[in-house]
Amino acid sequence: MRNRKRDITIDTVSLCFAFSLFFPGQNLNRDASPAKGEAVMEIAISSTAFKEGEIIPKKYTCDGENVSPPLEWSGIPKGTKSLALIADDPDAPHGTWVHWVLFNIPSDVNGLPENIPPRSTLKNGARQGMNDSRKLGYDGPCPPGGTHRYFFKLYALGIDLSLESGATKSQLLKAMEGHVLGEGRLMGKYKR
């Protein structure tokens, strides 16, 4: 008798592989959907505090000053009206933990300085959402144990969002649906 569960797993892997052959560069684990009829462009995002895949310095965690790290980006697509940023931890024990939600960042901004204050609206007009600690703004890595990955995801949008400050990640993702022109990701790790 064949193992049905094993067959389904193999079929899923085969399907993903076939998809990648016909649609290279597409991300099957995308958080937000692209703009209709648009190819999603890749945005380069980096930090002077840590490089891709490196340990996030203690300063930017709950064990340090718990301030947001500096971020820089380039390659914003033409037609971008605003940017949105989500920082989260997919390795949290009870599902993905959201550390930062920021949206309506002006499209001509090419980065964020260290220590963005936890205000509902920033001087440049960007609005901060609610993290999973039920606070506005950034709340740094604070894993209960083990090494966790933290993704800083930047989205270029073809619209300005009508969301109010305090919006959640899920509300932001819903509002972004069909308006994503580009995206970039920076991943850092932290272990306690």
Together in a domain, 16 and 86: no
> Number of folded domains in the chain?
2
In this prediction, residue 40 has a pLDDT band, given cuts at 50, 70 and 90, of confident
Strand order in the sheet with 127-128: 41-42, 180-191, 147-157, 82-89, 97-106, 127-128
49-68 residue pLDDT tens: 999 999 999 999 999 999 99
Asked whether residue 79 falls in the same domain as residue 170, the answer is yes
What is the tens place of the pLDDT at every residue in 78-122? 999 999 999 999 999 999 999 999 999 999 999 999 999 999 999
Query: So what's the pLDDT on residue 24?
Result: 41
Burial 13-31 (b: 16+ CB within 10 A, else e): eeeeeeeeeeeeeeeeeeb
Does 90 lie in the same domain as 60?
Answer: yes
CATH number reported for the structural domain that contains residue 136 in this entry = 3.90.280.10
| Domain hosting residue 10, numbered range | 1-26
Residue 14 shares a structural domain with residue 49: no
126's CB contacts (< 8 A; 6+ apart) are: 102, 103, 104, 105, 106, 109
User: What DSSP designation does 34 have?
Assistant: B
